[in-house]
Every structure is written in C-alpha cells, then in structure tokens.
Amino acid sequence: MEILKFKNNDEMPILGLGTWKSKPGEIYTAVRQAIQIGYRHFDCAAIYGNELEIGKAFTDAFKQGDIIRKDIWVTSKLWNNAHARDQVLPALKKTLTDLCLEYLDLYLVHWPVALKTGVVYPGTGSDLVSLADLPLADTWAGMEACFDQGLSNHIGVSNFSIKKLAGLVETAKIKPEMNQIELHPFLQQPEMLTYCRKKNILLTAYSPLGSGDRPAHLKSETEQILLENPNIQQMAQKKGCSAAQILIKWAIDRHTAVIPKSVNPIRLAENFKATQVELNPDEMTAILALDMATRYVRGAIWTPPGSAYTPETLWDESYRIVNGF
Ligand code: A2P
C-alpha cells in the first residue's frame, strides 16, 4: 500500500475507508471486514453518528488480535458546534471515548463554519456564528492544544479554500498538515493541488465515487452520476476492472489520500484492490478532460437566508465552481 508521509515521517495509508453515511447497524461489520481485507486507514467524524460502533469494531479487532492500535490510522473531525477554543479538547475527548482510542492519528476541523453551541444542524440563519465572532484562529488554537496534549498526532482541516488555508498557515503555531476536500474527476481542483504541494499540506479526496448514497436533499435532479460516466465505464471495461477502481486509482496517482465508503463486503474488497490497477498517461489525460468543476457537496446547508455565510464566503476563490450541476 502506498503511503502519504507527514513531516515527522508518520505514514498514512493512501487508501482509507470512508464512514460518512455508514449507519450504525452496518458499520461494525464493515469495519471488521475492512480490517480483514487489509484496510488500515479509517476516516471518521463525530457528526457521522457512528463512532461508538466503529469503536466497538476496533476494540474487538484488538481483542481478537487482528490488529494493534499502531497498525491503523484513524482520522476524526471536530463538529461545527464546538469551534470555541475551549470546546475543542472536550469534543476530541468525546470522540476518543466513542472510538475507544487513547489518541487519534489526525484530527480535522470539519468545516470552516461555526454553529451556536448545542445546534447540530442549522434550522435558520441565526443558528450560525460568523467567523468574525468566532475566528478560525481560535478554533485552531484549540486544535493545537489537542496536539500539545498528545491526543492527536496530527491536525488539519476539511472543506477549506486556499484563502482560508493561507490565513491559517500565516498565523498557526502548528501548521495544518491536511485538507480533506471533495475531489474526483468531475471536481479536480488543480489550483488547490498546486497550492498544497507548495505549502507541504497533504490532501484527502472525499466523495471519490460521487457519494451516490447522499440523502435526497443533498442531491440535484440534474446531477450526473460519476460511477456511470461513459468514459470511465469504457475505460474500466477495456482494462477489465470496475469504474470505482479507476476513480480510486486516479486519486492515488495524484498523490491524494482517498476514502471510498462502502459497507458491502464485495465492494470493500473491490475498492481495496484498486491499488493494483495501472492507469497509463493517456488514461490520466483522458480523465483530465472530464473536469467539470462541479461539486456534489455544496454546503448549501450553511447558507440559508440570514446566515453569516454565503456560497462566496464559504468557498472563496472556488465559489464559481458550479454547485450541484
Ligand atoms: P455501498 O456502501 O453499498 O457499497 P463515496 O465514497 O463517494 O461517498 O461513495 C459511496 C457510495 O458508493 C455508496 O453508495 C457505496 O455503496 C457506493 N460504492 C462503494 N464502492 C462501490 C463500488 N465498488 N461500486 C459501486 N458503488 C460503490
């Protein structure tokens, strides 16, 4: 398995298991199966509502001798309602308790968006707190405290624009080492790749298969289905692999970590084997042409009427990226 190397030489397996949308009741078995298959990187978040069950799967895998803690890379994310500096550490401690772990490998600020304490998802614009009132630098100071206390070996962010990353890089005592963002052939974000390479920030590609299992309210009627793209399908057919494997290997060949979600044992194994697929330069060029600069995950939930956030202030330089086809 290829790895991404952090500044202190820690190694993150480039392919991980995504757990967004994996329901309690199915994620325990999926994690246990994934470990059997060989997955050693698990991408979690408090808001996914399944960390307790993932923790049980880890605990049982440790007990039964399938793995030891340091064999696996575990990422989790701070939810938007705990962005005040002194709320970050308690939020991480809750995640650690749920995951039955003593430390994380990587903790991320899930969104550059703050919610009032106690609000899980905004009902109205007044549930959001502006970045002027709760600056990302304050949240980051809380993240740095998590690192200082040895509760997360690395810290980073998710859904950050270049502008917001640059702001953080300038003021942070400990620089963010990761930005986890939506990346796939329809949303290739070349400027972000260039910026992060220059600043020694690693990238993780979320929704690499197009997240077809998003809830209906996060979907557009006109959106194109990534896994059904004819070019990807033809390429897969010609190579004797699956469309999902092409998408995963494409992300790996761009040196981004990639976290396809599955709770199906056959697809878990299929996705893991994507590392064996070889994409030649002509195939990489053909995929380059599929970029439509189009997001599936629009963040529209953060920009209701009266919100302190607009699509422009949420996505900054990339707000022109088409939302939802
Ligand atoms: P399932 O969990 O039933 O396998 P993303 O990683 O972009 O969020 O996409 C996740 C969606 O893709 C889920 O609906 C998942 O369903 C599905 N999926 C995962 N692996 C594959 C695969 N190899 N082929 C087709 N669909 C897949």
Instruction: Report pLDDT for 87.
Output: 98
Instruction: Report pLDDT for 324.
Output: 55
Instruction: Report pLDDT for 325.
Output: 47
Percentages of the chain per state (helix, strand, coil), in multiples of 5: 45, 15, 40
Q: Which two tokens stand for residue 284?
A: 């990489």
Quote the radius of gyration of the chain (alpha carbons, Å).
19
Residue type, 240: G
Distance 175 CA to ligand 1 centre (A): 33
Q: Is position 48 annotated as part of the catalytic site? A: yes
Residue 109: left (phi > 0), alpha (psi -120 to 50), or beta? Answer: beta
Phi, psi (deg, nearest 5) at residue 18? -75, 145
Ligand 1 atom 21 nearest Cα? 267
d(CA 60, CA 84): 34
The kind and range of the H/E element at 148 are helix 136-148
Distance 261 CA to ligand 1 centre (A): 6
Torsion of CA 177, 1, 15, 246, to 10 degrees: 130
Which SS3 state, helix, strand or coil, does residue 45 take?
Answer: coil
Distance 34 CA to ligand 1 centre (A): 14
Please report where in the chains the tokens 């990238």 appear, as a residue: 203
Catalytic residue among 39, 48, 206, 309: 48
Beta bridge partners of 158: 180
Distance 166 CA to ligand 1 centre (A): 33
Task: Give the contacts of 199 (CB within 8 A, at least 6 positions apart).
Answer: 165, 169, 175
* Intervals of the chain under pLDDT 70: 323-325
pTM, entire model? 0.97
DSSP conformation class of 261: B
Ligand 1 atom 16 nearest Cα? 262
Cβ-contact 48, 22 below 8 angstroms: yes
Residue type, 237: Q
Whether ligand 1 lies within 6 angstroms of the CB of 226 is answered as no
Q: Which two tokens stand for residue 168?
A: 């953080």
Q: What are the CA-CA distances from residue 42 to residues 49, 73, 206, 237 (Å)? A: 15, 6, 12, 29
Task: Give the contacts of 280 (CB within 8 A, at least 6 positions apart).
Answer: none
The kind and range of the H/E element at 248 are helix 243-253
Whether ligand 1 lies within 6 angstroms of the CB of 159 is answered as no
Instruction: Report pLDDT for 218.
Output: 87
